[in-house]
Structure 1
Amino acid sequence: MRVPGFWSFAARGFSLQCPGLLCCRLLGPSQATRNMSSKRKMDHLERTAGNNRQNALYPAEVRGIITESDTVKRLRIAVPPDFSFKAGQWVDLFIPGVEKVGGFSMCSGPGVLQREGIVELAVKYSKHPPAHWVHTMCTVGSQVAMRVGGDFFFDPSPSDPSVDLLLVAGGVGINPLYSILLHTLDLLHRNQASRRRDFNIGSAHLCYSAKNTQELLFKSSIIAACQEFPDKLSCDLHVTQQITDVDAHLQPFINRGRITEEELRSHVDLQRTLCFLCGPPPMIETLSKTLVDFGLPKDRILFEKWW
Structure 2
Amino acid sequence: MARAFVTSPLLRGSAGMFCPQAALSPPRPKGLRHFTGSCIMKSQKKSDHLEKTEEIFREKVVTSAKVCGITDESPTVRRLRFLIAEKSFTFKAGQWVDFFIPDVPVVGGFSICSSPSLLKQENALELAVKYTNHPPSLWVHTKCALGSEVALRVGGKFFFDPQPSDSPVNLVLIAGGVGINPLNSILLHVADLYRHRENKGSGYEMGRVRLLYSARNTSELLFKRSILNLTNAFPGKITCSFYVTQQTTEISEELLPYVTEGRIPDKDIEKHISEDTLYFLCGPPPMIEHFSRHLEACKVPKEHICFEKWW
Identify whether the pair has TM-score above 0.5, normalized to the shorter chain: yes
Deviation at 1:128, TM superposition (A): 0.3
* 1:20 match: 38
Q: Does 1:282 align with 2:286?
A: yes
Closer, same or farther in 2 for the Cα pair 1:261/1:125, shift >3 Å?
A: same
1-structure distance, mates of 2:267, 2:136: 38
- CA deviations over 1:113-165 (Å, ceiling 9, x no partner): 11111100000000000000000000000010000000000000000101111
| Structure 2, unaligned runs of 5 or more | 1-27
The counterpart of 1:157, out of the listed 154, 158, 163, is 163
- CA deviations over 1:178-199 (Å, ceiling 9, x no partner): 00000000110111111x2421
The counterpart of 1:59, out of the listed 54, 58, 64, is 64
The counterpart of 2:151, out of the listed 131, 134, 145, is 145
* 1:295 match: 299
Deviation at 1:43, TM superposition (A): 3.7
- CA deviations over 1:14-60 (Å, ceiling 9, x no partner): 142x22253xxxxxxxxx6xx24x4x255432222111101111111
1-structure distance, mates of 2:188, 2:196: 12
- CA deviations over 1:47-98 (Å, ceiling 9, x no partner): 2211110111111100011101110000000002221100000000000010
Deviation at 1:8, TM superposition (A): 3.6
2-structure distance, mates of 1:213, 1:21: 28
2-structure distance, mates of 1:78, 1:133: 18
1-structure distance, mates of 2:60, 2:143: 28
The counterpart of 1:247, out of the listed 235, 252, 261, is 252
The alignment covers a number of residue pairs equal to: 283
Deviation at 1:169, TM superposition (A): 0.4
The counterpart of 1:179, out of the listed 181, 185, 199, is 185
Q: Does 1:265 align with 2:286?
A: no
* 1:135 match: 141
Tell me the TM-score normalized by structure 1.
0.89
The counterpart of 2:195, out of the listed 170, 189, 192, is 189
2-structure distance, mates of 1:95, 1:48: 18
Deviation at 1:248, TM superposition (A): 0.1
1-structure distance, mates of 2:71, 2:299: 41
Q: Does 1:45 align with 2:50?
A: yes
Q: Helix, strand or coil for the counterpart of 1:286?
A: helix
- Percent identity between the two aligned chains: 50
Q: Does 1:9 align with 2:30?
A: yes
Amino acid at match of 1:209: S
| Structure 1, unaligned runs of 5 or more | 1-6, 23-31
Is residue 235–residue 253 contact of structure 1 (8 Å, CA) maintained in 2? yes
2-structure distance, mates of 1:221, 1:108: 11
1-structure distance, mates of 2:256, 2:29: 50
The counterpart of 1:75, out of the listed 80, 85, 93, is 80
Closer, same or farther in 2 for the Cα pair 1:305/1:67, shift >3 Å?
A: same
Q: Helix, strand or coil for the counterpart of 2:128?
A: strand
* 2:21 match: none
Q: Does 1:230 align with 2:248?
A: no
Q: Does 1:93 align with 2:99?
A: yes
- CA deviations over 1:231-252 (Å, ceiling 9, x no partner): 2111111100001110001111
Query: Greater helix percent: which structure?
Result: 1
Moved over 3 A (4+): none
Q: Helix, strand or coil for the counterpart of 1:91?
A: strand
Deviation at 1:286, TM superposition (A): 0.7
Amino acid at match of 2:253: A
Tell me the TM-score normalized by structure 2.
0.88
Q: Helix, strand or coil for the counterpart of 1:98?
A: coil
Q: Helix, strand or coil for the counterpart of 1:166?
A: strand
* RMSD value, Cα: 1.3
Amino acid at match of 2:68: R
Q: Helix, strand or coil for the counterpart of 2:30?
A: helix
2-structure distance, mates of 1:86, 1:20: 21
* 2:10 match: none
Closer, same or farther in 2 for the Cα pair 1:77/1:273, shift >3 Å?
A: same
